[in-house]
């Protein structure tokens, strides 16, 4: 009995642990990914809000089409109506869409304003440079420079990287070097592409971030992750034959873990990553407990 309770408790820890959750696409996903930034919370709310307009309008148009087909088919209406004007109907189909668009425009503009208004004095500034087909990251404003390339993780390299858990490090989304950022800190992202490259796009669905990476142009966006874990995105602009193999992975950790990683990453990035993985990959420990 005690062993069964222990296994159940370990399973619940795996299912509901929030400290090391990873957000990624799932099979048959119908909704957006779970929001972990203030902007993404607003995006998800707006997505659900628009459904209160989209669903009734769709059903109304469907019913109207069925009614027109049945009521005005040739057999039921052999003499077509010659009506060419109806003031009431024209007023309704003019004012109705205007009111609907007004109810959609106000929260939409508020959301756009929140996305495009850069917070003052961000805690972290990172430059992301896109190249066919990888992402390069540089942490700005540090005494000891920290920068690295991030490639999609190959299956043959999983064992050496300690990333054999495909649930946590999924195929085609996991990378060799994740972008490490602190939780509950404002992050300013500078996004561009190599001067001789093509247009890419930096997209992180759980953060509500999607911004073009254009050669010769520096775009910027921001986010503040509210929950630790691993989060996955991808290049979202068709950029060539390996466009599908250009993932983005962000590891959000506590501020103390971030500072420790940052201090070690400048001199030995692989060692800093291994140490951080040992401290943050909590599900592996839960599995060990359950097996005992």
| Average pLDDT over all residues of the chain | 87
The pLDDT tens digits of the residues spanning 12-49 come to 333 333 344 567 788 888 888 889 999 999 999 999 99
The pLDDT tens digits of the residues spanning 210-230 come to 999 999 999 999 999 999 999
* Domains of the chain with bracketed CATH: 38-116 (1.10.287.90), 124-291 (2.60.40.420)
Indicate whether this model's pTM tops 0.85. Answer: no
Q: Please give the pLDDT value at position 78.
A: 84
Residue 285 has pLDDT above 50, yes or no: no
The pLDDT tens digits of the residues spanning 218-273 come to 999 999 999 999 999 999 999 999 999 999 999 999 999 999 999 999 889 999 99
- Give the residue among 171, 189, 201, 237 at the shortest CA–CA distance from 25: 171
The pLDDT tens digits of the residues spanning 154-197 come to 999 999 889 998 889 999 999 999 999 999 999 999 999 999 99
């Amino acid at each position: 009995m005690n062993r069964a309770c222990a296994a159940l408790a370990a399973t619940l820890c795996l299912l509901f642990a929030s400290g090391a959750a990873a957000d990624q696409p799932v099979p048959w996903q119908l909704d957006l990914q779970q929001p972990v930034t203030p902007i993404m919370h607003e995006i998800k709310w707006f997505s659900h809000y628009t459904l209160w307009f989209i669903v009734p309008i769709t059903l109304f148009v469907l019913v109207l089409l069925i009614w027109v087909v049945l009521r005005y088919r040739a057999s039921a209406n052999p003499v077509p109506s010659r009506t060419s004007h109806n003031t009431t109907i024209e007023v309704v189909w003019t004012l109705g869409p205007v009111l609907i668009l007004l109810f959609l425009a106000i929260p939409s503009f508020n959301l756009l304003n929140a996305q495009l208004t850069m917070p003052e004095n961000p805690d972290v500034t990172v430059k992301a440079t896109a190249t066919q087909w990888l992402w390069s990251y540089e942490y700005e404003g540090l005494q000891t420079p920290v920068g690295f390339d991030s490639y999609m993780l190959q299956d043959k390299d999983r064992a050496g990287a300690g990333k054999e858990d495909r649930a946590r490090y999924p195929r085609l989304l996991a990378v060799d070097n994740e972008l490490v950022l602190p939780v509950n800190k404002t992050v300013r992202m500078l996004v561009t592409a190599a001067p001789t490259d093509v247009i890419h796009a930096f997209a992180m669905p759980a953060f509500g971030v999607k911004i073009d990476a254009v050669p010769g142009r520096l775009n910027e966006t921001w986010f503040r992750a509210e929950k630790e874990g691993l989060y996955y995105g991808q290049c979202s602009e068709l950029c060539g034959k390996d466009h599908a193999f250009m993932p983005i992975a962000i590891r959000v950790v506590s501020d103390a873990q971030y500072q420790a990683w940052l201090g070690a990453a400048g001199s030995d990035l692989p060692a800093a990553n291994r140490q951080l993985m040992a401290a943050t990959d909590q599900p592996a420990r839960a599995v060990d407990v359950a097996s005992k």
